[in-house]
Amino acid sequence: MKNLNIDTILAQAGSRRDPHTGAISTPIHQCATFRHPALGESTGFDYSRTANPTRQALETAMAELEGGARGLAFSSGMAAVDNVIRLLAPKDKVLITEDLYGGTYRIFRKVYAQYGIEAVYIDTSDTAAVETALEDAAVKMLFVEVPTNPMLRVADIKALGELANKKGVIYVVDNTFLSPCSLRPLELGADIVLHSATKYLGGHNDVVAGVLVTKTQELGERLFFFQNSVGSILAPNDAWLVLRGLKTLHLRIEKQSENAQKIAEFLNTHPKVKKVFYPGLKSHKGHDVQAKQAKCFGGMVSFEIDVPALVPQILKSVKVFHFAESLGGTESLVTFPAVQTHADIEPEIRERLGVTDRLLRLSIGVEHADDLIEDLRNAIENGEV
């Protein structure tokens, strides 16, 4: 059948009805090498660094979900980022979201800078600023998070795609926070979509993985060459865990987004909360853009407490939320970006971007919203000091 709804594609992800056993769930091919039938003949698999049936099932599913030509699965989200950067050469510049994940900042600033690749940090929610920056002929890539981590700024993915395509630069969109359930960047002009599959795709806080999906086979082949050469592949068991997670992605995303909206509205009226960052709030600068380009506002909420002294109280006192890094799982998490996910960013830059000692980031899970709200209320108002 053609033109299946994404819910159906997700529920059937990896289900290929094994012709030998009839297995509905994709088998875990925990195998390093594959026997050849005869000289000059192959089953299509030789060595698992190059290709593995379980990993291939995930890669095929992700390409279908994102509407791309080629999917590639990696050992982590950062391994996927690293693979993308290998498309660049010394003296190339990349325009990149300024308030981005600290790990991505670290690899550009402290790893690839020494090889002559220059990252130019910019507010990618400011389309005019991006257009001006793209006038620099040395810019070969535009790398955008949507929404950004942790300030949840929203870039106009289609508008940026038109600019990037006009200039002939590689356009990369990190779609980790929204997933293909909500946003399909390749349809809006992106060349590459990136995911930390550890997050919403896996969805259960039990696997570390990364995914790339390319618009064209040619670009996919270039990235595959790097992946195969470096060996940054996803193990079969981990690939199976991500496939398992995909089957309920649409159900989880819907619930998480619904919960996040309620929690953002609660925090927005709390006297001890200075500011709430969530695109679902009509007061959010990127609300209209997000409503236009995405099917939901996502499950991530950041907020600024009025006094820094409340931060350790909240982190110590939450009972339903877990004080932990990462995001996108069924369990709700609270993170302190300044000392966790964004610790590698220089303090003065963090402060300018709003990643202050008063900012907390919430990954909203699938629990009942009332329980989550009550947990936050108690931690803010009556928590242990």
Catalytic residue among 140, 199, 215, 252: 199
At residue 384, the pLDDT reads 53
Residues 125 and 240 in one domain: yes
Residues 106 and 117 in one domain: yes
CA 364/CA 325 separation, integer angstroms: 13
In a domain, 377, yes or no: yes
At residue 347, the pLDDT reads 78
At residue 262, the pLDDT reads 99
CA 147/CA 145 separation, integer angstroms: 6
Determine contact, residues 232/75, Cβ cutoff 8 Å: yes
Residues 182 and 214 in one domain: yes
Q: Are strands 93-97 and 70-74 parallel, antiparallel or unpaired?
A: unpaired
CA 172/CA 323 separation, integer angstroms: 31
At residue 17, the pLDDT reads 64
CA 79/CA 348 separation, integer angstroms: 28
Catalytic residue among 49, 86, 158, 262: 49
Domain final position from 201, 216, 246: 246
State pTM to two decimals: 0.95
Q: How far is CA 22 from CA 12, 13, 248, 265, in A?
A: 14, 15, 22, 48
Q: Is residue 101 annotated as a catalytic residue, yes or no?
A: yes
In a domain, 224, yes or no: yes
In a domain, 1, yes or no: no
At residue 383, the pLDDT reads 62
Determine contact, residues 110/344, Cβ cutoff 8 Å: yes
CATH number (domain holding residue 329): 3.90.1150.10
Q: Is residue 18 annotated as a catalytic residue, yes or no?
A: no
In a domain, 218, yes or no: yes
Residues 84 and 200 in one domain: yes
Residues 166 and 52 in one domain: yes
Which of these, 300, 308, 379, lies nearest to 338 by C-alpha position? 308
Catalytic residue among 82, 92, 99, 174: 174
Determine contact, residues 250/181, Cβ cutoff 8 Å: yes
Length of the chain: 385
In a domain, 342, yes or no: yes
* Domain around 81: 6-246
Residues 293 and 196 in one domain: no
Residues 170 and 66 in one domain: yes
In a domain, 156, yes or no: yes
> Structurally, how many domains does the chain consist of?
2
Residues 93 and 141 in one domain: yes
Residues 258 and 210 in one domain: no
pLDDT of the chain along its 385 residues, tens only? 568 899 998 988 877 666 778 888 899 999 999 998 898 888 889 999 999 999 999 999 999 999 999 999 999 999 999 999 999 999 999 999 999 888 999 999 999 999 999 999 999 999 999 999 999 999 999 999 999 999 999 999 999 999 999 999 999 999 999 999 999 999 999 999 999 999 999 999 999 999 999 999 999 999 999 999 999 999 999 999 999 999 999 999 999 999 999 999 999 999 999 999 999 999 999 999 999 999 999 999 999 999 999 999 999 999 999 999 999 999 999 999 888 777 677 778 777 877 888 999 999 999 999 999 999 999 999 865 4
Catalytic residue among 70, 82, 101, 191: 101
Which of these, 149, 150, 154, 167, lies nearest to 126 by C-alpha position? 154
Q: Is residue 121 annotated as a catalytic residue, yes or no?
A: no
Q: Is residue 7 annotated as a catalytic residue, yes or no?
A: no
At residue 346, the pLDDT reads 77
